[in-house]
Amino acid sequence: MYPVYYESAPRRDFISVMVSKEPPEPPSKRRQSCRRVWNRLSRLQRTIICAILVVGAMSGLYIANGLMNELPDDKDTLSQRHNVFPNDNVVHVMDQRHPDKDTKANQRLHDNDDKDGEDQKLHFEQVNEEKKTKGQSQDGADAGVDVQVQVPNMEDGVGPQNAQQKAVVEAFKHAWKGYKQYAWGHDELKPISKAASDWFGLGLTIIDSLDTMWIMGLMEEFEEARRWVEKDLVLKKNVDVNLFETTIRVLGGLLSAFHLSNDGLFLEKARELGDRLMPCFNSPSKIPYSDVNLDTGKAHPPRWGPDSTTSEVTSIQLEFRELSHQTGNDKYKNAVDEVMGHIQSLPKENGLIPIFVNARSGQFRAGATITVGARGDSYYEYLLKQWLQTGKTEDKLRDEYVTAIEGMQKNLVKSTAANGLKFIGELVRGSFSPKMDHLVCFLPGTLAIGHHNGLDASHLELAKELAKTCYQMYADMPTGLSPEIAYFNINNPGKPDIEVKNADTHNLLRPETVESLFYLYRLTGDKQYRDWGWKIFQAFEKYTKVQGGGYSSIGSVKDTKNPRFRDKMESFFLGETLKYLFLLFSDDPTLLSLDKYVFNTEAHPLPIWRP
């Protein structure tokens, strides 16, 4: 067949020459001459021409179809944009809900950073109309909770009001940009490798950031995060989670988002999470196991040892109690109150606790370290804050707290030989160690709130001294950032106050110092605390900011040339560090008033109950 086909090709040329050379003919004549030409062709030639026409027609159809697919229609353009530019999505969804207000609403959302107070208020009202729509159409039906939407007043969040707050909001946006682009829906961003990492697979960064965004007035981002919680946050998950971390970050984050927005979705998710965490308390002593599988409900001690961490089992109370308060179901509160009651009944040294407790025996591990740093810290914080949460009605908790602070003064507080910097050391197998974790730097803030609520003046004095030391842990380092752990020289006046071991030079973007600076500024009005906070913020900007999006923990605060990015942006950087900086630079003491809110240990504000 093929040779025949090729041999006939010259005759096709002949046909075309013939047609082009003939003079123009009237249409009927032309048709006749075409027929004549056609009749002169062999059967093979006709077959080939027919085949060429069929193939040509089919190709034409195919190309036309492809072109049609390329052409935009309204629906597809919108959905494509949703994937590439999620912010546009917000605007379009809102347009549909408020066809009569679209232009103004969009304008407000896009001009968010430049708002004056009045416009900002309008902006919040607009967003709350969105929430009402949601509450009625989705949440109310299946949530099983009373969905009301409040219009946030000025004390709930008004966005940045001055240059320093604006700088912090820009930092948040930069962090969020990286997370959104490379790690959306995952726990954390790896900003250097531009990838995601998962710990529990619960979108930790999104949930930890919800209230920060609300307070900063980043309502587009908040809406987007809210949609993720609604559609993609799956809690029935075959994953082992740590009870404490999940409670302070996720349960606390959902509860505070609920309080600020009054959006029942967050409460419903909080309730489901609370239920999935509850099996932890099914231990012989009722001291919770550290871990639980969110799907099977199987709870167990940590993989690395037999005991639960004392600060962990005693720093879940604010959240579980609040969950009971909001749902009307006492089971959550009862479980955590039983833990506190049990810990209160155990013998302690001057109110100070060892850092491990066994969930089976209910006993402290004999000889375990006593510290206000890792594994001890938030036990002390939650003693005070539980007392505040219930309107200062549970005096036993306050008394335990006061006893513990006295115990610290007696056993743990010492001063450096050179400059008399006060710090809090540790008791390791009964001996004093002049080691202080950066984590201890939450304590000045807690002491300041205690004093604000009537506790002794010595608490505020200690708070100021410790805050100075915590700031010094930053200022003494070449990068202006604190190491994870510092050692203090108490014997030799010729030596520097602070020493850092090679293994401790990292900085994880932790919040504790700026947290305390916020409380101290809010409660004393001393601008020194703001100045220190601004210097710390600038150091974060200089040494931890990653081009393109995100901030990274670093390996060495001593090395300005090569601080060594560790490729990790902890969710608490957005949930806590940037939030406390934003609050530190606020001129408005009614913004999350400390007389109305108590912050959990992950910086999520929860309301103080009225007795």
- Binding annotation for Ca(2+): 601
Residue 310 touching ligand DMJ (CB under 6 A): no
State yes or no: residue 308 binds ligand DMJ (CB under 6 A).
no
| Minimum CB distance to ligand DMJ, residue 207 (Å) | 13
512 flagged as catalytic: yes
Total H helices, total E strands in the chain: 26, 16
494-513 residues in contact with ligand DMJ (CB under 6 A) are 510-511
Residue 499 annotated among the catalytic residues of the structure: no
Residue with tokens 């056993």: 411
Question: From the candidates 130, 211, 245, 465, which is the catalytic residue?
Answer: 245
Q: Is 484 a catalytic residue?
A: yes
DSSP result, 188-214: EEETTTTEEE-SSSS-HHHHHHHHHHH
191 versus 252: smaller Cβ distance to ligand DMJ: 252
Residue 378 CB, shortest distance to ligand DMJ, in Å, is 5
Query: Which residues lie closer than 8 Å to 304 by C-beta, 6 or more apart?
Result: none
Which two tokens mark 401?
């707290």
Q: How many residues bind ligand DMJ (CB under 6 A)?
A: 8
Minimum CB separation from ligand DMJ for residue 431, in Å? 25
Residue 382 φ/ψ, nearest 5 degrees: -80, -20
Of the two residues 358 and 601, which places its CB atom closer to ligand DMJ in the complex? Answer: 601
User: Which residues, at least 6 apart from 368, have a Cβ–Cβ distance to it below 8 Å?
Assistant: 354, 355, 356
Q: Whole-angstrom Cα distance, residue 584 to residue 524?
A: 12
Smallest distance, Å, CB 214 to ligand DMJ? 19
Pick the closer one to ligand DMJ by CB: 332 or 380. 380
Q: Is 602 in the site for ligand DMJ (CB under 6 A)?
A: yes
- Identify residues 540-599 at the interface with ligand DMJ (CB under 6 A): 572, 576
Tell me the β-bridge partners of 438. none
* Dist CA 118 CA 140 (whole Å): 31
- Compute the C-alpha angle 207/213/216, nearest 5°: 155
Q: Closest CB to ligand DMJ among 259 and 438? A: 438
Question: Which one, 423 or 572, has the nearer CB to ligand DMJ?
Answer: 572
282 vs 304: CA distance, rounded Å: 20
- 246 is an interface residue for ligand DMJ by CB under 6 A: no
Site for ligand DMJ in 439-458 (CB under 6 A): 439
Identified catalytic residue from 377, 465, 497, 570: 377
601 binds ligand DMJ (CB under 6 A): yes
**Cβ contacts of residue 348 below 8 Å, gap of 6+?**
407
Residue 389 CB coordination number (10 Å): 24
Question: Which entry of 139, 307, 512, 576 is annotated as an active-site residue?
Answer: 512
Contacts of 55 (CB under 8 A, 6+ apart): none
Distance CA 147, CA 158 (A): 23
Report, in Å, the least distance between residue 602 CB and ligand DMJ. 5
Q: Binding residue for ligand DMJ (CB under 6 A) from 106, 212, 378, 446?
A: 378
Where helices occur in 278-390 by DSSP H, the ranges are 310-313, 317-327, 331-345, 377-389
Q: Which residues bind ligand DMJ (CB under 6 A)?
A: 378, 439, 510-511, 572, 576, 601-602
Catalytic residues: 245, 377, 484, 512
